Amino acid sequence: MNTSVAPNVAIVTGAGRGIGAAISEQLARDGWRVLGFDLTWPATNAPALQSRTQVDVADYDAVAQAVDGAEATHGPIGLVVNNAGITRDAAAHKMDPRSQWSAVLNVNLTGAFHLCRAALPHMRARKFGRIVNISSMNALRGQFGQANYAAAKAGMIAMTKSIAQENASLGITANCIAPGFIDTDMTRAMRPDILVAEAAKIPVGRKGTPDDIAAAVVFLSSAAASFITGQVLSVNGGQLMP
């Protein structure tokens, strides 16, 4: 990325831990000035971040205020990464419409729209921008007990393709990354036998790491990917080949 030409401020949601923290670190090494948005922050410092802001992505007014404040304080935003996400798993016939279905859709899909909506006017005015949305392998295949999560992540893909079409002529790209089975706190909390069974399904012979996803974000945000938009990059070790 040539920071003398393109805005070099990036916003990463869910930046406090796991994949979001890895994305922030790799973007910072690539020359981005990274601003982290998260609902809760760990006590440990995040040296890769220029700032840490407590934001509920499900609240549009809070997101818009945070984006406008970031522009005023840190400068033009060139990249947004929608990584924030939650799970509330249950079989569809047992899923609570509010605390499980709506809660996941509000964060994982509507929250991503909120950041895109708040950032796009700034990007369009400058005729430059990169949007990278973190979807999921389960958006492409479904998953038992995750009708809410899979629907939100699949909706994110359709939203991203629409945003890509609307903004391509203005130098703005929008793409998705669909991670597979990644070694995070969320997956480490699974039963050991399920962990072993899932890892056995991955042709490359290992679970993914947050750095694997972060490397894909760095690529899609770079000048090398300026002709790539409206795409879904699967990073899953070959576990799903759509």
- Distance, in Å, from the CA atom of 11 to the CA atom of 50, rounded to the nearest integer, reads 10
Q: Does residue 46 contact residue 28 with C-beta atoms inside 8 Å?
A: no
Q: Does residue 240 contact residue 180 with C-beta atoms inside 8 Å?
A: yes
Judge residue 171's burial from the number of C-beta atoms within 10 Å of its C-beta, 0-12 exposed, 13-18 middle, 19 or more buried. Answer: middle
The label of the residue with tokens 């419409």 reads: 97
- Distance, in Å, from the CA atom of 128 to the CA atom of 220, rounded to the nearest integer, reads 14
- Radius of gyration over alpha carbons of the chain, in Å? 17
The two structure tokens encoding residue 190: 């699974």
Rounded to a whole number of angstroms, the distance between the first and last alpha carbons of the chain is 30
Q: To 5 degrees, how large is the angle CA 149–CA 194–CA 132?
A: 35
Which of these is catalytic: 32, 37, 149, 181?
149
- Distance, in Å, from the CA atom of 104 to the CA atom of 110, rounded to the nearest integer, reads 9
Pairing of strands 9-13, 129-134: unpaired
- Known catalytic membership, residue 60: no
Catalytically active residues, by annotation: 149
